[in-house]
Amino acid sequence: MRHDHLLTAKQLSRADIEAVLARAREFADDPAAHADRHPGALLALCFFEPSTRTKMSFETAAKRLGGDVIDMGAVEDSSVKKGESLADTARVVEGYADGIVLRHPSQGAARMASEFVDVPLVNAGDGAGHHPSQTLLDLYTIDENAGLDDLTIGVMGDLKYGRTVHSLAHALTNFDVRQHFISPESLRLPRSVRYDLHEAGANVREHDDLDAVLPELDVLYVTRIQRERFPDEEEYEKVAGEYRIDAETLGAASDDLAVMHPLPRIDEIDPEIDASPNATYFEQAHNGVPVRMALLDLLLREGGDAE
Amino acid sequence: MTGTDTELRISKIRDGTVIDHVPAGEALHVLAILGIDGSGGEGVSLGMNVPSETMGHKDIVKVEGREMSQAELDVLSLIAPDATVNIVREYEVAEKTEIEPPEQVAGLLSCPNRHCITNAGEPVETRFDVLDEGVRCAYCETIVREEITDHLAV
């Protein structure tokens, strides 16, 4: 991988993705056996929004590679509370760490911050923008369950504001994939993502409901429809209810369908599915560690003592 | 080019800029891009909805005592892609420029996405990539196709 930063999935070529997934497979066999990779490396975790999985898996990955983390902590306890700019925070933290993982509520925050630092910076979510490290673990999970070529995937839920959806859609244009997007009219893909998919010549179709397309899917990627996107509770309940899946829904699906979700879920996937062989979302979450180990390994070596 | 047209473009300007072939109705936006609102004391002449052989009708803007910078010309191409710019010195056309769409415009537009990092009080100038149709924020990737002039930061 020849990049200083990971800001969007758009910057990833097929070769980049395959390099990360191959390295992740090496690490997945025995994550505890690689503490000699980056002894003493320090990763700064700057999360301006709450996170459980992303933050903990980056922390785990850094420690598994022999490194450690420094954590900015909650915004309420930091200089941000005093009005410090992100640009200043980034420049200060750059002096402490060998790499930065940034989550921020503003779209484009990671790109802007990257312009102020020389250490590798990973976008761990910028508002409704991108979340490329999630995409790498999504791709790893898809590859393990269905393969990345000759794939039919359905992506359902909040496609407008869902950053994991935007990054995944971009990355899948590198492969032979038929992408189906299922959402209410008001939550369809934003114009910028449609533009990129069109430019990439992607095979894309949009649907209002899952029924028509479910039988042909290899993967169903479900995302959460957030309450705050709707003017009132009644409208939210009505729409969200149409995009929930349960055991009955899956009756029309292929036996091999992999159901994925970036988590956290609220009630868009019925827990009765959890024990089924279709449920892939916890495996997906666990894959965050080897995939982020691979990402950090490649970025830190690129930025430092290249192999 | 008619004689009247030529006269409108260059007469009575000693030093300054004549912007011709502006789409009819866009002259005031051209002034906005130039940051001219009359308070600077420059002499400004506008021809609006002037008959044009090639465009049907067009606008012409003449500004005395001011030569446009490249950045100003760049963003002008977004609202007046066929405009021609004449820099006039001592009553003569010293430079004649056809506007080329730039790859990017910096600092001249504000992003309409209120969640964009460029609207968060950070020390960063806006940058927009120029597409075949419209422009795209280099930070949040929002595409603006309609009413670009609504987003002038000048």
Euclidean distance between CA atoms B65 and B13, whole angstroms: 9
Q: Does the distance separating the beta carbons of B139 and A192 come in below 8 Å?
A: no
A170 or B31, which is more confident? A170
Residues A65 and A152 in one domain: no
**pLDDT score, position A304:** 44
CA A63 to chain CA centroid, nearest Å: 21
CA A305 to chain CA centroid, nearest Å: 27
Dig out the tokens for B52 from the structure.
């044009």
Three-state SS at B144: strand
Nearest-Cα distance to chain B for A105, in Å, is 8
Nearest to B123 among A87, A126, A129 (CB): A87
B150 or A1, which is more confident? B150
A82 annotated active-site: yes
* Residue partners of A151: CB distance under 8 A and separation at least 6: A142, A172, A175, A176, A177, A178, A218, A219
Residues A94 and A191 in one domain: no
> Which residues of A lie inside 8 Å of B (Cβ-Cβ)?
85-87, 104-109, 111-112, 115, 126-129, 191-192, 195
Please tell me the pTM assigned to this model.
0.89
Euclidean distance between CA atoms B27 and B36, whole angstroms: 11
CATH 3.40.190.10 for domain B16-98: no
B41 or A99, which is more confident? A99
Note the pLDDT tens digit of each residue in A125-167.
Answer: 999 999 999 999 999 999 999 999 999 999 999 999 999 999 9
Residues A87 and A148 in one domain: no
Closest alpha carbon within chain B to A161: B115
As annotated, the residues of chain B forming the CATH 2.30.30.20 domain(s) are 104-151
Note the pLDDT tens digit of each residue in B81-95.
Answer: 889 999 999 999 999
Tell me whether residue A151 is annotated as binding.
Answer: no
Query: Domain B104-151 belongs to what architecture?
Result: Roll (2.30)
Residues A149 and A278 in one domain: yes
Note the pLDDT tens digit of each residue in A44-54.
Answer: 999 999 999 99
Q: Which residue among the candidates A34, A38, A131, A180 is catalytic per the annotation?
A: A131
Note the pLDDT tens digit of each residue in B16-45.
Answer: 999 999 999 999 988 887 778 888 888 889
Residues A190 and A124 in one domain: no
Euclidean distance between CA atoms B52 and A255, whole angstroms: 68
Total domains in chain A come to 2
Measured between beta carbons, the chain B residues lying within 8 angstroms of A87 are 122-124
Euclidean distance between CA atoms A9 and A218, whole angstroms: 22
Note the pLDDT tens digit of each residue in A210-246.
Answer: 999 999 999 999 999 988 778 788 888 888 888 999 9
Three-state SS at B34: helix
3-state per-residue secondary structure call for chain A: CCCCCECCHHHCCHHHHHHHHHHHHHHHHCHHHCCCCCCCCEEEEEECCCCCHHHHHHHHHHHHCCCEEEECCCHHHCHHHHCCCHHHHHHHHHCCCCEEEEEECCECHHHHHHCCCCCCEEEEEECCCCCHHHHHHHHHHHHHHCCCCCEEEEEECCCCCCHHHHHHHHHHCCCCEEEEEECCHHHCCCHHHHHHHHHCCCEEEEECCCCCCHHHCCEEEECCCCHHHCCCHHHHHHHHHCCCECHHHHCCCCCCCEEECCCCCCCCECHHHCCCCCECHHHHHHCHHHHHHHHHHHHHHHHCCCC
Other C-beta atoms lying within 10 Å of the C-beta of residue B137: 26
Nearest-Cα distance to chain B for A192, in Å, is 6
Nearest to B139 among A111, A128, A191 (CB): A111
Q: Do you know the residue count of chain A? A: 307
Residues A252 and A138 in one domain: yes
For residue A238, what is the domain's CATH number? 3.40.50.1370
Domain residues for the domain of A69 are: 5-130+286-303
**pLDDT score, position B10:** 43
Residues A154 and A270 in one domain: yes
Residues A74 and A15 in one domain: yes
Residues A217 and A149 in one domain: yes
Other C-beta atoms lying within 10 Å of the C-beta of residue A65: 24
Note the pLDDT tens digit of each residue in A14-35.
Answer: 999 999 999 999 999 999 999 9
